[in-house]
Structure 1
Amino acid sequence: MAPPDDDEDEVDLGVSLEVVATVVDLANAVQEAEEALMGDPKDDEEEDEDEEDEITEEMLTDYIDELNEEEQVGLIALAWVGRGDYEPEEWEEAVRLATERNAKGDASAYLAGMEGLGDLLSEGAAAFGLSIEEVER
């Protein structure tokens, strides 16, 4: 697919910014919950109330599992760009390798296992001049 002919050459991430923002939100919520568990213990009553509203890793992986393969590959490649494994100019290579990596069909487990997934995706989007914070939710 050729890049568009306008002033800004936009790359096709294979996944919408809305989906990326949702994954960022879920990943950040899971990370915050994990960090809270490692912090000061709360009394049991408060903890039970929090657990009802808590975003779990299973919710994150279920959401990613519902995405199509192109979206999953886009998330993997975007996280790699955010981690610094690839530069935006190497996007096609990152997508090709993410496609091979995703052939196992375990994108959700792979992504959920990435330390700081929300930050990686945000930084990956920022590398392309895109801001997750500006996406309406």
Structure 2
Amino acid sequence: MELNLNPETVCLLITKAHEFHAKEQVTITENPTSPADDWAMQTLADHADDATYQEMVNLINDLDPDQLLELVALMWLGRGDFALEEWQEALSQAADSHTSHTASYLIGTPLVADYWQEGLELHGYTCD
């Protein structure tokens, strides 16, 4: 299964995600206090002026729609939500779940860099 998404772009996002999440003042709770809380959006709004965060948002928002869906599916694949054999199902689910807040959703996911890395590796790519 070949990716439409350039692995080098994902590797850049992985690097930026590590930089952003490593900053001391960035805390993203794993579990919201209630299902109605838009916790990732609230947390990330505090970092909207952060250059690394803004660069990630721009990189993600500049992707073609099919590449954006692959980026979401790649995270889910790396997280173990789907197996590689279920790639088309992951893409379909990503399409069904797509919103204008996808960049915030991705950046706000704890360990997103690790998930993208694992997803790339399952597709046969590495970041070197």
Asked if the contact 2:2–2:123 (Cα under 8 Å) also holds between the matched residues in 1, the reply is no
TM-score scaled to structure 2, two decimals? Answer: 0.75
Write out aligned runs for 1:6-17 (5 A). 11-17=1-7
The amino acid across from 1:107 in the alignment is T
Asked if the contact 2:16–2:56 (Cα under 8 Å) also holds between the matched residues in 1, the reply is yes
Asked if the contact 1:26–1:55 (Cα under 8 Å) also holds between the matched residues in 2, the reply is no
* Residue of structure 2 equivalent to 1:31: 21
Matched residues, percent identical?
27
* Residue of structure 1 equivalent to 2:120: 125
TM-score scaled to structure 1, two decimals? Answer: 0.70
Distance 1:61 1:27 in 2: 11
Distance 2:89 2:2 in 1: 13
Q: CA deviation at 1:94?
A: 0.3
Alignment gaps of 5+ in structure 1: 1-10, 39-53
- Provide the secondary structure at the position in 2 that maps to 1:37: coil
User: Over aligned residues, Cα RMSD in angstroms?
Assistant: 1.6
Count of aligned pairs: 105
User: Which structure has greater helix proportion?
Assistant: 1
Distance 2:84 2:51 in 1: 31
Is the radius of gyration larger for structure 1 or structure 2? 1
